[in-house]
Amino acid sequence: MTVDVQPVSELPDPADFGFTVVERDALPTELLALVDQVRTLADTVAHTGADAAELAAASRVVADLSERLDVRRRPLGTMFSQVAPDGRIDYGTVANVVNGPLNPIAPPLELRPDGEGLSGEVTLVGLYEGPPGLVHGGWIAAMLDQALGEVAATAGGASLTANLDVNYRKPTPLNAPLTVTSRVTGVERRKVLVSGEIRHNGEITAEGTAVMVKIALPGS
């Protein structure tokens, strides 16, 4: 990534609080490729019509793979750091269930600064189904929570969601490109007020607001 400004960290370094931090660019490409493959596998398994013998053989292969890969586990709370286009240092958890780069369950949603806040594109496959053919409302709320939490971090400080309010305006389709956006609308003492939307073909399918509360960290 090309960065033309001096990195400035407005967030506390999680390493100071005992968390393992790895640079996002240093995550092995082979591991990222495996994450992609496992996500595809999960979607395939959720929809396969293969016969019993094939399923039994696949089950053995997957069990064997799980055993082979269960070595040198990264501790819970392992975070990645990356330099944002504006020079800030961003942090995220590698296994975040909504968009962690190492979590195969997480859809490939990467949120980037768009001048007003953050935005990102994502297509959710059938793994995220709720009502027939539609994205599960819990996942819609989860994606909004993530987008709102990440944009709150741009206001500085580590915060947690205190309140999340979601309105589902239209059904959100599977296998279709979605745009997720978020922005900070206000800061009041420790509260960071945020809002965001999910759109399909430019139309809002869901929108949310949240109150994120900055947490006191040891030593602060």
Regarding 179 and contact with ligand 3IX (CB under 6 A), the answer is: no
Distance of CA 79 to the CA centre of its chain: 12
Among 146, 20, 14, 37, residue whose Cα is nearest residue 89 = 14
| Short-list 204, 210, 101, CA closest to 147 | 210
Which residue of 109, 134, 171, 190 would you call a contact of ligand 3IX, by CB under 6 A?
A: 190
CB of residue 175 to ligand 3IX, shortest distance in Å: 25
For ligand 3IX, the closer of residues 68 and 189 by Cβ is: 189
Residue type, 211: V
Integer Cα distance of 175 and 123 in angstroms: 6
User: Smallest distance, Å, CB 24 to ligand 3IX?
Assistant: 13
164 close to 212: Cβ distance less than 8 angstroms? no
Outline where 70-154 has alpha helix (H).
137-153
Spell out, one character per residue from 127 to 146, where the chain touches ligand 3IX: x when CB under 6 A holds, - when not: ------------------xx
Q: Which residues of this protein are in contact with ligand 3IX, per CB under 6 A?
A: 11-12, 14, 17, 91-92, 145-146, 149-150, 153, 158, 160-163, 188-191, 211, 213, 215, 217
